[in-house]
Structure 1
Amino acid sequence: MADPGKMEEGLVHVEVVPDQECKDKHDGKVEKKEGGGNIDNEKEEKVEEHNLEQQPLVKQKTKRVATLDAFRGLTIVLMILVDDAGGAYARIDHSPWNGCTLADFVMPFFLFIVGVAIALAFKKIPMFKDAVKKISLRTLKLLFWGILLQGGYSHAPNDLSYGVDMKQIRWCGILQRIALAYFIVALIEILTIKRRPTVLEPGHLSIYAAYRWQWIGGFIAFVIYMVTTYSLYVPDWSFVVHGHNEATRYTVKCGMRGHLGPACNAVGYVDREVWGINHLYSSPVWQRLKACTDSYPSSGPFREDAPSWCRAPFEPEGLLSSILAILSGTIGIHYGHVLIHFKGHSERLKQWVSMALVLLIVAIILHFTDAIPINKQLYSFSYVCFTAGAAGIVFSAFYILIDVWGFRTPFLFLEWIGMNAMLIFVLGAQGILAAFVNGWYYESTDNTLVYWIQKHVFINVWHSERLGTLLYVIFAEIVFYGVLSGILHKLGIYWKL
């Protein structure tokens, strides 16, 4: 039985009927999932009161759900690809600073699909208190798993030791950012349920007016981010780098406002003040900049004349940047609202594509005029617009292929992965499965099945470490998890937190 909490989270599969909830009560029957039998009117009312918020009544699978899962699966595939092959192909890894690469689409794509899923999960809320409790528990679970997986306790997949010094624990991460965006966007959704229209007024912009409180929430996040980023004074700051036998202190000269470079931006300053510099990510991608290394755009040793900030920590999923990430979830929930209120394919696509194009145009203008560069590390407003616009185009394309044209079979692979996204995120993207396999080594920790397959089956065969690594990620990781997800789907098993 599917857990609606997973759909709210946006990382797992739930089957929902978009346009038809159940038969009229005068029929005295409710159709249960997977061929369930009939019940009488009295039992039906109890089921609706107690379970409706936990499991939407389902009549059959819908293509819309396949579109959601396929998009989610694509995001997971991109995450594995850029995480494990980005070292070999720096061009697909995160942009060192300004600009946008393949890896930079992963986080906003997650937030986009979280927003879409929230709109569907809270289409009806029979019990308000239960909905608040559900949102709170889901948020706490995401925070717990985020700190456990990315806080430093797990050193997977290469280091077989575990544990983290609490003076160095990383408080921020991917799941923590998703938790914050989910909590705020979902809370606004349920708090404004009484203001939610059942029928939209005529006009292309009526859906924006109908859900104005969601957009007001996104606008408040935007204002907080922009005001703080451009008005907060950033003083000089220092940090310590611990070597093998000594510790070296570096000082970064700032004393300015509104700076958008690596050294003196307000995003980094807020995280240093709130979390402490020892709790930030110690290997930021700006270390691949030309100013820091001659190996640009790949990682490499620091230049002798590299500025001091090249060695400093920086949190790419920090507090201030996560506040603007709420806007990515707000745009996603708008796409979910369109899915609910507009029944025709053309109506939905007009809404989706028009908004996506506007977002892309705004982002391109802001970036190329140097007003607000596209920057994932700062989670700039132009970055939000660009990635949300790209998400809208990809989502619309999937909808056309799967829902309109009925080409579902070619996307089953992505759909299966999307159904078990959290499982693959933990086992694959966080390297837990690879670490488990590496734990069974022969004589040396470098002599494991994972390393043997990567070296002898891929790298040595193709006589190229870069190509071998890419093929290993595609066939030994992505295809493997796709097959595993397909098996779990056939068995009716979906991994829950």
Structure 2
Amino acid sequence: MEGNPRRVEEGLGHTPPVHEDRDGFHEKEGIANDEDRIFDNEKEERIAEGDHSVEEKGEERPLVKPKSKRVATLDAFRGLTVVIMILVDDAGGSYARIDHSPWNGCTLADFVMPFFLFIVGVAIALALKKIPKMQIAIKKIMIRTLKLLFWGILLQGGYSHAPDDLSYGVDMKHIRWCGILQRIAVVYMIVALIEVVTTKLRPIVLDHPGHLSIFTAYKYQWIGGFIAFFVYMVTTYTLYVPDWSFVVYNDHKLTRYTVKCAMRGHLGPACNAVGYVDREVWGINHLYSSPVWQRLKACTLSSPNSGPPRENAPYWCRAPFEPEGLLSTISAILSGTIGIHYGHVLIHIKAHSERLKHWGSMGLGLLIIAIILHFTDAIPINKQLYSFSYVCFTAGAAGIVFSGFYVLIDVWGWRTPFLFLEWIGMNAMLVFVLGAEGILAGFVNGWYYKSPDNTLVHWIKTHVFINVWGSERLGTLLYVIFAEITFWAVVAGILHKLDIYWKL
């Protein structure tokens, strides 16, 4: 992972939505879930189906809450994303085809971050549907953003070395300022603030909800997305990228390399504007030191797997690169904008068929745009650059998957097979920190016998999975499925029954 020995690039849990209560906001939520009850459960079900009369009548919450019948797709989709994150994070080293694409292209791992940003947008739309007190809302958003930034720097800045390295601490000259949580924090803040400050400029109820009316009612959200798109595209294709250099420490020896650029609009690893902006803003020592481009054929004979560098590999193969940097995060705002649009559809369109028609057509349209841009080489799909075609492709896929989940879970009522995804989605932050970031495994590894390598985690992985199946690749995959994903599903289910969630 980026930021520590485990690859954190896969993304993390859902950005905490903000929820209404009688005072305007409900603090009990966080990345944990939508179990925070944006509204009382009976009222929420009626609103989700398009009945807004309960708001106009100003009904009070009942003292005893009935059993929740909320839109379960939200939690299940988030849980699915967390499961994929764990799978590609811990099994991607054995199965490179599901790990991040070294540069252009899109693999299973590359869907995780935009899927989370998509569901962040959906949750924000529901949570901020009605804002009685704008100042309180803005304060809550900013506090939550700061919390996410703090946890992101703590977990991904290099301070934590879990789970394999039992040491901790980071040299402030090399701390990594960017990361998954930091990107989610920025996207959440921008999208949520636009939703809050425009609350009096949009209708609560649409008289004739349809495709165009929802776009026009929430035009300021799309204007914000267009501004992000414009800034990203203009900077990417017009910013002059000069030559740059970096230093590599090897065997206590310092070697300086210089990468020749002097160009504009380049979309390759060495001379793109995304990397240049991060080198200038953060400083090259504060970028991620093991970018996935090291698995390119130009860099290693083991491609697409990780391996020793080629003897005559280009200098940039050894250079750092920030996949969650500033310019690419500006582009990522579009993922949140598309997600919030799906949430607006959920609020204003009553019929299942009409919701699905809107979601499906938009998802399919985004996929078509992305495929055309990619295969005509106009704008390749690229996660590291967070290219526009990548935004369209992953947001379109998120919309299609979200629609499929909605049909299975909320329309057909097939909720039981997906309960484990709901449980994980309700405690996504906890699973990310303790599971994906390896904090729990690091704690267990702290109790070793004779040698730091002789731990319970290592013994289970080796003797229960790898040795039994006689294959390190298959054993690793089964370990991830049963000792990590299944384990955290059970833990999340127990915590759900106890009504315990991680709150930010």
With the length of structure 1 as denominator, give the TM-score of the two structures.
0.92
Specify the SS of the correspondent of 2:420: helix
1:278 is aligned with what amino acid? N
Q: Partner residue of 1:96?
A: 102
Query: Which of 126, 143, 152 is the aligned partner of 2:158?
Result: 152
Query: Which of 475, 480, 486 is the aligned partner of 1:479?
Result: 486
CA RMSD of aligned residues (A): 1.8
Task: Tell me if the contact between 1:10 and 1:113 (Cα under 8 Å) persists in the aligned partners.
Answer: no
The one-character-per-residue Cα deviations of 1:340-379 (angstroms, maximum 9, x if unpaired) are 0001100100110000000000000000000000000000
Does residue 495 of the first structure (1) align with residue 502 of the second (2)?
Answer: yes
Q: Partner residue of 1:169?
A: 175
The one-character-per-residue Cα deviations of 1:257-304 (angstroms, maximum 9, x if unpaired) are 000000000000000000000000000000000000000000000001
Query: Which of 303, 320, 324 is the aligned partner of 1:317?
Result: 324
Q: Partner residue of 2:293?
A: 286
Paired with 1:72 and 1:28, the residues of 2 have a C-alpha distance of: 30
Does residue 184 of the first structure (1) align with residue 184 of the second (2)?
Answer: no
Query: Which of 467, 470, 473 is the aligned partner of 1:466?
Result: 473
Spell out the pairing of 1:449-464 with structure 2 (5 A cutoff). Answer: 449-464=456-471
Task: Tell me if the contact between 2:210 and 2:349 (Cα under 8 Å) persists in the aligned partners.
Answer: no
Give 1:201 deviation, angstroms. 3.8
The one-character-per-residue Cα deviations of 1:125-176 (angstroms, maximum 9, x if unpaired) are 1111100000000100000000000000000111000000000000000000
Does residue 258 of the first structure (1) align with residue 265 of the second (2)?
Answer: yes
Task: Tell me if the contact between 1:9 and 1:114 (Cα under 8 Å) persists in the aligned partners.
Answer: no
Task: Tell me if the contact between 1:8 and 1:117 (Cα under 8 Å) persists in the aligned partners.
Answer: no
Does residue 194 of the first structure (1) align with residue 225 of the second (2)?
Answer: no
Residues 335-344 or 202-211, more deviating: 202-211
Specify the SS of the correspondent of 1:117: helix
Task: Tell me if the contact between 1:9 and 1:118 (Cα under 8 Å) persists in the aligned partners.
Answer: no
Q: Partner residue of 2:404?
A: 397
Paired with 2:58 and 2:343, the residues of 1 have a C-alpha distance of: 30
Give 1:27 deviation, angstroms. 9.9
Task: Tell me if the contact between 2:30 and 2:503 (Cα under 8 Å) persists in the aligned partners.
Answer: no
Spell out the pairing of 1:22-421 with structure 2 (5 A cutoff). Answer: 30-32=61-63, 35=64, 59-64=66-71, 66-197=72-203, 198-201=205-208, 203-421=210-428
Residues 325-334 or 202-211, more deviating: 202-211
Give 1:23 deviation, angstroms. 5.8
Task: Tell me if the contact between 2:29 and 2:502 (Cα under 8 Å) persists in the aligned partners.
Answer: no
Q: Partner residue of 1:55?
A: none
1:357 is aligned with what amino acid? L
The one-character-per-residue Cα deviations of 1:71-120 (angstroms, maximum 9, x if unpaired) are 00001001100000000000000000000000000000000000000000
Task: Tell me if the contact between 1:225 and 1:321 (Cα under 8 Å) persists in the aligned partners.
Answer: yes
Q: Partner residue of 1:13?
A: 34
Specify the SS of the correspondent of 2:251: coil
1:439 is aligned with what amino acid? G
Give 1:204 deviation, angstroms. 2.6
1:31 is aligned with what amino acid? P
Task: Tell me if the contact between 2:18 and 2:141 (Cα under 8 Å) persists in the aligned partners.
Answer: no
Q: 1:333 to 1:9 in 2, by over 3 A?
A: farther
The one-character-per-residue Cα deviations of 1:403-423 (angstroms, maximum 9, x if unpaired) are 110000000000000010000
Give 1:13 deviation, angstroms. 2.9
Give 1:19 deviation, angstroms. 3.1
Task: Tell me if the contact between 2:45 and 2:70 (Cα under 8 Å) persists in the aligned partners.
Answer: no
Q: Partner residue of 2:443?
A: 436
1:13 is aligned with what amino acid? D
Give 1:452 deviation, angstroms. 0.3
1:12 is aligned with what amino acid? N
Paired with 1:107 and 1:11, the residues of 2 have a C-alpha distance of: 17
Q: 1:495 to 1:236 in 2, by over 3 A?
A: same
Paired with 2:28 and 2:164, the residues of 1 have a C-alpha distance of: 32
Task: Tell me if the contact between 2:244 and 2:260 (Cα under 8 Å) persists in the aligned partners.
Answer: yes
Task: Tell me if the contact between 1:8 and 1:114 (Cα under 8 Å) persists in the aligned partners.
Answer: no
2:85 is aligned with what amino acid? M
1:152 is aligned with what amino acid? G
Task: Tell me if the contact between 1:268 and 1:315 (Cα under 8 Å) persists in the aligned partners.
Answer: yes
1:473 is aligned with what amino acid? V
Task: Tell me if the contact between 1:277 and 1:313 (Cα under 8 Å) persists in the aligned partners.
Answer: yes
Give the unaligned 5+ runs of structure 1.
37-58
Q: Partner residue of 1:43?
A: none
Task: Tell me if the contact between 1:316 and 1:377 (Cα under 8 Å) persists in the aligned partners.
Answer: yes
Paired with 1:187 and 1:27, the residues of 2 have a C-alpha distance of: 25
Give 1:62 deviation, angstroms. 2.0
Give the unaligned 5+ runs of structure 2.
1-16, 20-25, 39-43
Give 1:6 deviation, angstroms. 7.5
Give 1:430 deviation, angstroms. 0.5
Give 1:203 deviation, angstroms. 4.4
What is the number of residues matched between the two proteins? 471
2:111 is aligned with what amino acid? F
1:70 is aligned with what amino acid? A
Task: Tell me if the contact between 1:71 and 1:414 (Cα under 8 Å) persists in the aligned partners.
Answer: yes
Residues 439-448 or 15-24, more deviating: 15-24
Paired with 2:384 and 2:102, the residues of 1 have a C-alpha distance of: 8
Paired with 1:404 and 1:28, the residues of 2 have a C-alpha distance of: 27
Give 1:61 deviation, angstroms. 1.3
